[in-house]
Amino acid sequence: MSSTEASPFTPPVVAAVTAHMNTDHPEDNLLIARSLGGLPEATSAVMTGLDADGARFSAEVDGASSEFTVPWAGPVTERPHIRHEVVRMYHEACEALGVTPRGAEEH
């Protein structure tokens, strides 16, 4: 499925996921921006949306917003898949930046 097709996620699901990430995990968003988003100088980042292709973010770099999408590693068509993929992104970001990730119970 490409972004030109309808998203498998309803607006309330997207709103809930982005609110959770931006409220409870802003530091994860920043790690993802600095590594997987290719923005090592980012000072903040928020998740702005998601669809069948990946998670969308906006990061602040030198006072300007930079938008990027991190693609899913595989098909993501149901809400539980989102969590799995975002945790994967977080762990990949930690590994790339040499940061010790939180334990699984803290996600």
Q: Read off the pLDDT of residues 17-60 as tens digits, 9 standing for 90 and up.
A: 999 999 999 999 999 999 999 999 999 999 999 999 999 999 99
Query: What DSSP assignment string belongs to 68-91?
Result: EEEE-SS---SHHHHHHHHHHHHH
Q: Describe the strand order of the beta sheet including 64-71 as a list of residue ranges.
A: 44-50, 54-61, 64-71
pTM beyond 0.75: the answer is yes
Measured from the Cβ of residue 86, the count of other Cβ atoms closer than 10 Å reads 24
CATH superfamily for domain 11-98: PNP-oxidase-like (3.20.180.10)
